[in-house]
Structure 1
């Protein structure tokens, strides 16, 4: 592995900036973003765009469906 790749891995793992490491998962980050920036575009596909608020609502519906139907 070259030195650049090693340095990038160290940065990602927090060796150089341990203050950036947090105990959160992707879903936490998504929910916080949806609450903070609900009207911002979350996804773009071809000509269609969806906001964080819309995506969050769709995620809630899907989670409820999965919970009820296992």
Structure 2
């Protein structure tokens, strides 16, 4: 039997914010989340907070972009 122990880092935004990637990601691939579980090779520096309003605007643009691509 093998037993392993893992430490998990959980990142949560401050009130009124959402987490998203800090790097320049194609909008259709961008992640928006209220909680991120960092993997062993991930870093908190790879994530940033944006306001919920900013996230809602970006999510709408993301939906519009995906819908446009699906209609092709």
Structure number with the higher strand fraction is: 2
For the pair shown, which has the larger CA radius of gyration, 1 or 2?
1
TM-score (norm 2): 0.36
Give the alignment's TM-score, normalised by structure 1.
Answer: 0.37
More helix by share: 1
Structure ranking higher on relative contact order (CA contacts 8 Å, 6+ apart): 2
